[in-house]
Structure 1
């Protein structure tokens, strides 16, 4: 299971407009909030995407982009985005390759039935491609604001790493 300090595995996935998003292309440019969610048009997933969209300007001020990933196809993402006026970039992983790569495709039990599904998880990845926070089984309400606080800490930590050490 991926955790803080691990290098974020690179991947490329299409978004709702069928344009490719490559995580490696963001290295050195942006921090990335990569969140995995079960599927479009469910109450929790809609709330989570809308909240991230509502904070998009805050994230951008800290050189951070937010992308969501689910197994839904590009067309479903586009309909979900348009129906709810979402601004967060939604990536399609219908073969669950990236979900498996990030170890969020797991067995769940719902009403006594076991099936595979996405474990709602968020990774905060710094500009160097290092996972700084891995949040599992998140609750959608208030999640975007909590993640924003972690992103703000990245800037503080980055400044501390860059500041010269004083000789003793």
Structure 2
């Protein structure tokens, strides 16, 4: 998938937004997939992207958080933490499957399937340029920002 065009997708996001990749042509698109709203790691990661949002915008990069949570949960999570970007509700796992982020997990000895924390950076022409899988939250948003800035200056 890396360095290949990303198939167009349509998704529903907070603020009654319809997100379609083709509509975002000319801008870089950042999708960060996270397991669940209002959990410690996911909250920290989302706050990190929030705190760097102006710099992402300056690098011509639109940020979207993606999880399987409902739109109602997303709206509350977004409002509670003042996220300046939209959250995509992928309850049908369409985007999760497209980016292959549903993995078997082991939580307290119990196996289940869930989102593996992953981030994808798509260039302004719709080509996947960077992917981060099995993400550790600390320092991740800053690393992604650096990649977005570098990619933006090379386009």
Per the shorter chain, which TM-score range?
A: over 0.9
Confirm whether residue 32 of structure 1 aligns to residue 29 of structure 2: yes
Show the counterpart of 2:80. Answer: 83
Q: Contact between 1:125 and 1:132, CA under 8 Å: does it hold in 2?
A: yes
Deviation at 1:17, TM superposition (A): 2.3
What per-residue deviation string (whole Å, max 9, x for no partner) do you get for residues 58-95 of structure 1?
A: 11111111101100011100011111222221000011
Confirm whether residue 15 of structure 1 aligns to residue 9 of structure 2: no
Confirm whether residue 148 of structure 1 aligns to residue 145 of structure 2: yes
Q: Show structure 2 runs of 5+ residues with no match.
A: none
| Correspondence list, 1:2-151, <5 A | 2=1, 4-27=2-25, 29-151=26-148
What per-residue deviation string (whole Å, max 9, x for no partner) do you get for residues 13-50 of structure 1?
A: 111223211112112x2001111110100011111111
SS at 2:80 equivalent: helix
How many pairs align? 155
Report the TM-score, using the length of structure 1 for normalisation. 0.88
Per the alignment, do residues 17 and 156 of structure 1 end up closer, same or farther by CA in structure 2, a change over 3 Å counting?
A: closer
Show the counterpart of 1:165. Answer: none
SS at 1:138 equivalent: coil
Report the TM-score, using the length of structure 2 for normalisation. 0.95
CA RMSD of aligned residues (A): 1.1
2 CA distance for matches of 1:17 and 1:65?
15
What per-residue deviation string (whole Å, max 9, x for no partner) do you get for residues 97-133 of structure 1?
A: 1101110011111122111100100001100111110
SS at 1:127 equivalent: coil
Pair member with larger Rg: 1
Deviation at 1:156, TM superposition (A): 3.1
Q: Contact between 2:14 and 2:86, CA under 8 Å: does it hold in 1?
A: yes
